[in-house]
Copies of this chain bind each other. A is one copy, B any other.
Amino acid sequence: MGLKIDIPKSALLMLHCQNDIVKPEGKFAPSGIADQVAKHNLMEKWMAVIKASRDAGLRVVYVSNVFRPGFPELAGRVFPLMRGTKEFGAFIRGTWGAAIPDEIKPLPDEIIIENYNSSAFSYTDLDLILRANGIGYLFLAGVATTFVVNSTARYGAELGYEITVLEDCCTAFSDEMHDFEVTKVLPHFGTVSGSADFMAALADR
């Protein structure tokens, strides 16, 4: 059964697609994500869903993991995932590593939300901007499935957003972790779909 998309009320969220995590030279690459991105051709898939969204007039919103130099955000009790970020020195504002890759670069009028937690909603203005623009349906793409994608699905669902995870536009530290999330966990918080269905629905409006 086909996915239906109410374009003005929807947004594609590109989550943590930044050089430090998706490129082999990135500081967070040792986590294994960059290899998974390459193995599953995610960059090409992201380019395709972004182009299809723009062509259809669907809003694209980027969420980037950004820290101030010196990591004052992580001065207190820090959970293991974030300790990694701090040790790698990744995602510092203004650096190449924190930037979104050229291949999927935002247009000048597209919104970038900066966060530094695992959820895109946590202590950011994402909810406020989506609300102000009447958006209620979110399509999620990015890395990692276990972290920003899962957390954003959870928090977003609780806030009343209808969540669709574009499963082949996400990856995790391993296929096992990704597969578990998309088959066992995320279906409880929304719909799990593929980018082909998403693009078909956008074309068929």
* Chain A contact residues, CB within 8 Å of chain B: 68-70, 72-77, 79-81, 108-109, 111, 116-119, 122-125, 127-129, 131-134, 136, 146-147, 151, 154-155, 157-163, 176-177, 180, 184-185, 187-190
> Which residue on chain B has the smallest CB distance to residue A191?
B80
| A125 / chain B contacts, CB cutoff of 8 Å | 73, 116, 123-124
Q: A119-B155, A123-B158 are in contact. List 8 more A-B contacts (CB 8 A).
A: A75-B132, A75-B133, A79-B157, A80-B189, A119-B158, A123-B124, A131-B160, A180-B184
Among A76, A108, A151, A159, chain B packs the most CB atoms within 10 A around the CB of: A76
Shortest Cβ distance from residue A108 to the other chain B in the assembled complex, whole angstroms:
8
| A124 / chain B contacts, CB cutoff of 8 Å | 123, 125
Among A75, A77, A81, A146, chain B packs the most CB atoms within 10 A around the CB of: A77
Q: Once bound together, how far apart are the Cα atoms of A109 and B190, in whole Å?
A: 29
Q: Give 23 pairs: A residue, B residue, CB < 8 Å, sorted on A.
A: A69-B109, A73-B125, A73-B132, A74-B132, A76-B131, A77-B160, A79-B157, A79-B189, A80-B187, A80-B189, A81-B189, A122-B155, A122-B158, A123-B125, A123-B127, A123-B128, A123-B158, A131-B160, A146-B184, A146-B188, A176-B184, A177-B185, A180-B184
How many copies altogether? 4
| A147 / chain B contacts, CB cutoff of 8 Å | 188
> Which residue on chain B has the smallest CB distance to residue A172?
B184
Find out whether the CB atom of A129 lies under 8 angstroms from the CB atom of B73: yes
Find out whether the CB atom of A129 lies under 8 angstroms from the CB atom of B79: no
Find out whether the CB atom of B111 lies under 8 angstroms from the CB atom of A72: yes
Among A154, A177, A187, chain B packs the most CB atoms within 10 A around the CB of: A154
